[in-house]
């Protein structure tokens, strides 16, 4: 994940985001993002080169917006990639941080007069992979990377890969952060099966019994003061995948996600 501050206008802070905005990268750039966003100016987020965003990334943006909004300042998003834009809209973020496809329209929303230059195969069914990690966010980052590479090697579509990436990031981050009361190591199992018309993802953990299908949906209020920083991850996953199910097998939570192959 990279953040670059672009010098476009002395009345505007423009941040170009590139790479993947997931749990691992958010922890690395959170302080820098907050510093750059706290410039006393409106903020334009150029997402042209952002390939993935999880709820934690949206929460980081929302936290920064809450800091600048009391001064009457706004944020806008410029040119997000299709799946990033879809996730942004499903999470209700576009209500308070709108999306624009051209710089002039974004400047108009931010009440800035333009003063600079513009910012400038067939699936292979029957493949599977099984992995195990401990309840550690660093291990989760490695697992997500391995699954992403596996799906790319099997020529899955960008949209299908995005949905699987999102499911792993959101569901397992929730397990690691909230499912255990002790400091012991617990094993989390992940299996992925590519069928003729869908990808099946199964996640198993021995944490507290928790059915994500019964979790209350995130508050997507357009009032910034009412909007909570957390709670978007399960909402994003449930909305973007094609099917999701939960069962409790003895002391094991089993979540199964189905994503159609496009």
Q: What is the pLDDT of residues 1-55, one digit of tens each?
A: 788 887 666 788 899 999 999 988 988 888 888 888 887 888 999 999 999 999 9
CA angle (95 as vertex; 94, 97 as ends), nearest 5: 55
Q: How many C-beta neighbours within 10 Å does residue 167 have?
A: 25
List the end-to-end C-alpha distance of the chain, in Å, as a whole number.
27
Domain ranges of the chain: 2-110, 127-260
The CATH H-level superfamily of 2-110 is: STAS domain (3.30.750.24)
* pTM value > 0.85: no
99: tokens are 């999306």
Answer for the pair 97, 76: CB distance below 8 angstroms, yes or no: yes
The verdict on domain 127-260 having CATH code 3.40.50.280 is: no
What pLDDT, in 10s, does the model give residues 216-237?
766 666 666 666 655 678 889 9
Residues 6 or more apart from 64 whose CB is under 8 A from it?
33, 34, 37, 38, 43, 75
- CA 85/CA 53 separation, integer angstroms: 9
């Amino acid at each position: 994940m990279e953040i670059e501050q672009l010098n476009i206008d002395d009345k505007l802070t423009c941040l170009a985001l590139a790479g993947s905005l997931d749990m691992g990268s958010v922890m690395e750039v959170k302080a820098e993002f907050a510093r750059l966003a706290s410039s006393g100016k409106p903020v334009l987020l150029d997402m042209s080169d952002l390939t993935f965003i999880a709820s934690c990334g949206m929460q980081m943006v929302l936290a920064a917006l809450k800091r600048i909004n009391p001064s009457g300042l706004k944020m806008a998003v410029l040119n997000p990639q299709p799946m990033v834009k879809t996730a942004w809209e499903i999470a209700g973020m576009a209500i308070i941080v709108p999306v624009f496809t051209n710089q002039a329209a974004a400047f108009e929303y931010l009440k800035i007069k333009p003063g600079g230059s513009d910012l400038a195969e067939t699936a292979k069914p029957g493949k599977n992979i099984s992995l195990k990690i401990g309840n550690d966010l660093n291990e989760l980052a490695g697992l997500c990377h391995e699954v992403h590479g596996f799906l790319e090697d099997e020529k899955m579509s960008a949209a299908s890969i995005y949905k699987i990436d999102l499911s792993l990031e959101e569901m397992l981050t929730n397990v690691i952060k909230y499912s255990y009361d002790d400091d012991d190591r617990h094993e989390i199992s992940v299996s992925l099966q590519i069928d003729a018309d869908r990808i099946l993802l199964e996640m198993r953990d021995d944490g507290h019994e928790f059915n994500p299908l019964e979790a209350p949906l995130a508050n997507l209020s357009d009032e910034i003061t009412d909007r909570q920083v957390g709670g978007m991850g399960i909402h994003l996953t449930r909305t973007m995948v094609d099917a999701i199910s939960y069962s409790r097998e003895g002391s094991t939570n089993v979540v199964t996600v189905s994503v159609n192959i496009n």
